[in-house]
Amino acid sequence: MATRPRKLTHSDAAGRPAMVDVSGKQVTAREAVAECRVRFPAAVATQLRAAAMKSAKGGIVETAIIAGTMAVKRTHELIPFCHPLPIDGCRIAIDWSGTTILNIECVVRTTHRTGVEMEALTGATVAALTVYDMCKALSHAIVIGPARLLGKHGGKRDFGKRDFGKAGK
């Protein structure tokens, strides 16, 4: 059986930009997890580990978690066609993956007619940008990315693994 190609959803019949109408969808529990990585030069990673991820501006991880959570709640103000959603839960976990990579995972949950993939991606990437901002005095060779959706559940189609790792707890 051949599958029909999918089409982009954020345009109307005339091809103009439009918000998706979700009024006919079922209200269901939905969740999404996204990650973003921050790669440091080796000397910077060593320095940050030695300082327990603290800077003159404050706790780097703690500040990134707060910024990421705030971004999740404001995603609809940043991405033009995102619906404002009630956020039932948001968890951000930040931990080292190897010696030079900081992994940021963001899990977002809602009970609504549309999913929270963009909220999870926004939370993870804004947390990564916050880490960069707080560490850029040490090096401008810090690299952000990749950012990616790891999974989503609820709604029409599930994607990715169900285990949402550290941030899901």
Over the stretch 38-56, which tens digit does the pLDDT of each residue have? 999 999 999 999 999 998 8
Active site residues: 133
CA–CA gap between residue 70 and residue 129 (Å, rounded): 13
Beta strands at 54-55 and 58-59: parallel, antiparallel or unpaired: antiparallel
- Rounded to whole angstroms, the Cα distance separating 99 from 78 reads 33
| Residue 8 in domain | no
Residue 92 resides in a domain = yes
Mean pLDDT of 64-71: 98
Unique residue bearing structure tokens 């559940």: 153
pLDDT above 80 (res 134)? yes
Determine, yes or no, domain membership for 71: yes
CA distances from 154 to 10, 157, 158, 168 (A): 20, 7, 6, 15
Could you tell me if residue 59 is inside a domain? yes
**Overall domain count for the chain:** 1
- Residue 82, pLDDT > 90, answer yes
Question: Does residue 161 lie in a domain region?
Answer: no
Residue 139, in any domain of the structure:
yes
Q: Contact 143/38 with Cβ under 8 angstroms?
A: yes
Residue-number span of the structural domain to which 103 is assigned: 38-155
Residue 9 is assigned to a structural domain of this protein = no
pLDDT band at 26 (very low <50, low <70, confident <90, very high): confident
